[in-house]
Amino acid sequence: MDYLDFFDLKEDPFRLTPDPYYFYPSESHNEALSSFNYIVEQKEGFFMCVGDPGTGKTTLLNTFLNTEKWKDRAGIALVLTPRLSPEEFLLTVLEDLNVKVKNTNKNEIIKAFRDFLIENSMIGRRVIIIVDEAQNLPDETLEELRLLSNLETEKEKLLQIVLIGQPELRGRLLSDSFKQLNQRITVRATLRPLTMNETSDYINYRLVKAGKGTVIFEEKTKKLIHKLSKGIPRLINLVSSRAMMAAYLDMSRYVRKRHVMYAVKHVSDSFIKTTRRIVTFPRIIVYSLMVCLIVAALIVMNRVKEQDQRGQSLSEKGTVPLIASESAAPFIEHKKLPKTAVVAVDAANVRAKPSLDSERIKSVSKETALEIIDEFTETTGMKWYKVKMHDGKEGWIADKTVRIVNE
Ligand SMILES: Nc1ncnc2c1ncn2[C@@H]1O[C@H](COP(=O)(O)OP(=O)(O)OP(=O)(O)O)[C@@H](O)[C@H]1O
Ligand SMILES: [Mg+2]
């Protein structure tokens, strides 16, 4: 009997695919979906939706695409790999919309596109360009999108543009060079991680969708999953799926906290890093350690005082350095950092702080080698390296954009 039979489920409820069948309308997902439909309905120009990795951007997009209402009433160009030059981008869009162009002269392309938009507008059909992972659009292609958004009649916009991406997209559009584009974005949405109640509902919702079955996630188990995943759906799926597997191995229909603990030890590195602090250092241990440190410090101070009173020179006896080095040593963590990060994508951003929202200091091109001087992992599991550039400037680069070379 496999584990789906054991729990009497039709399929794995926590698969990591952006399947609209499983779309759970949390408050922020619901708002974003309504905004998405609104801009198409109202023929607003530009919509931008951002969210951290794993918060459900692609799932939201697929849910929109699955909406019966728009299936026959809209022509949709979907760009999923946006690292395209303006020309490549335009041709991809035209191909998706089935617009024939006689030659690839830019003016000809734009003219053919405008004619196509007007024809569609006359029959009340919407035309939408949707870009997922839009944070990866090159600057010139973003500018091209702005120019496309100018295609309008006196009465209405001929084209709706939807940009979906990670929060760094919002940061990029705040820069001076994208002021005009930023002003054109009329509707915005942000996908937030799920709250505790939403996480609990989300788990139940996915179980019901997968056939309900006999599996039971206890309330305290769901609380722990929420705490460890920080409410990020992808991480909730990851740990819930493994925890169910652990319960199955235990022949238990109840998924308990110990199954979750077992699961986090067996899921991907990024999840373990996100959760390690919580898993290995529960609050009680941290507090106990703090109390021990304070007691130790008091004892040391007391001894120093006693010795002082006896008129002995501490420095002669070496007591101070000994206390400073030996007693502190176990609490200092000497991290061994990797040495060099080599840029593995066409262009990677170096930022002032380890966050996608942080200001971009520089864009570095593929194969640039950067010295690593520090590292940091966000609660979402996203890892960053602090690097020194050739001009001596320092900044943070996302680990997914580099490969590590250790000589
Ligand atoms: N609202 C939701 N309802 C149901 N499942 C969701 C929801 N949001 C996210 N998920 C699940 O979480 C996982 C990650 O979702 P998705 O791929 O859409 O995230 P993303 O924001 O596009 O991530 P990335 O930034 O890495 O592209 C998928 O398994 C998806 O099914
Ligand atoms: Mg996605």
Q: What does the pLDDT look like over 36-81, one tens digit per residue?
A: 999 998 888 899 999 999 999 999 999 999 988 887 889 999 999 8
> In sequence order, what are the residues at sequence separation of 6 or more whose Cβ sits closer than 8 angstroms to the Cβ of residue 211?
8, 9, 10, 11
| Pocket flag, ligand 1, residue 54 (CB < 6 Å) | yes
Residue 125 shares a structural domain with residue 54 = yes
pLDDT on residue 70? 81
Q: For 56, left (φ over 0), alpha (ψ -120 to 50), or beta? A: left
Residue 287 shares a structural domain with residue 355 = no
Distance in Å, CA 30 to ligand 1 centroid: 14
Cα 238 off chain centre by: 15
Residue 38 shares a structural domain with residue 101 = yes
pLDDT on residue 203? 98
- Which atom of ligand 1 lies at the shortest distance from residue 62's CA? 18
Within-domain flag for 22: no
| Pocket flag, ligand 1, residue 184 (CB < 6 Å) | no
pLDDT on residue 322? 29
Residue 64 shares a structural domain with residue 170 = yes
pLDDT on residue 248? 94
Residue 232 shares a structural domain with residue 361 = no
Token pair in block for residue 251 = 């022949």
CATH code, domain carrying 10: 1.10.8
Q: Given 191, 219, 242, which residue is the final one in a domain?
A: 191
* Count of domains forming the chain: 4
pLDDT on residue 303? 61
| Pocket flag, ligand 1, residue 14 (CB < 6 Å) | no
Within-domain flag for 313: yes
Residue nearest ligand 1's atom 24 by CA:
53
Within-domain flag for 135: yes
Within-domain flag for 175: yes
Which residues of the chain carry a pLDDT beneath 50? 275-282, 308, 310-334
pLDDT on residue 67? 85
Residue 33 shares a structural domain with residue 101 = yes
Give SS3 for 52.
Answer: coil
Distance in Å, CA 17 to ligand 1 centroid: 7
Q: d(Cα 43, Cα 126) in Å, to the nearest integer? A: 8
CATH code, domain carrying 344: 2.30.30.40
Residue 157 shares a structural domain with residue 236 = no
Q: What's the DSSP call for residue 165? A: E
Which residues span the domain enclosing 393? 340-405
Q: Tell me the whole-structure pTM to 2 decimals.
A: 0.69
Distance in Å, CA 163 to ligand 2 centroid: 12
pLDDT on residue 327? 32
Residue 296 shares a structural domain with residue 201 = no
CATH code, domain carrying 127: 3.40.50.300
Residue 316 shares a structural domain with residue 390 = no
Q: d(Cα 202, Cα 27) in Å, to the nearest integer? A: 12
Distance in Å, CA 56 to ligand 2 centroid: 7
Scored b (16 or more CB within 10 A) or e, 117-127 reads beebbeeeebb
Within-domain flag for 21: no
Q: How far is CA 2 from CA 216, 238, 289, in A?
A: 17, 19, 44
pLDDT on residue 286? 53
Q: d(Cα 66, Cα 63) in Å, to the nearest integer? A: 5
- Which atom of ligand 1 lies at the shortest distance from residue 25's CA? 1
Token pair in block for residue 59 = 């799932």
Residue 40 shares a structural domain with residue 120 = yes
Within-domain flag for 165: yes
pLDDT on residue 2? 84
**Segment (H or E) for 266:** helix 257-266
Residue 289 shares a structural domain with residue 353 = no
Residue 114 shares a structural domain with residue 168 = yes
Q: Is the dihedral of CA 93, 99, 104, 107 positive or negative?
A: negative
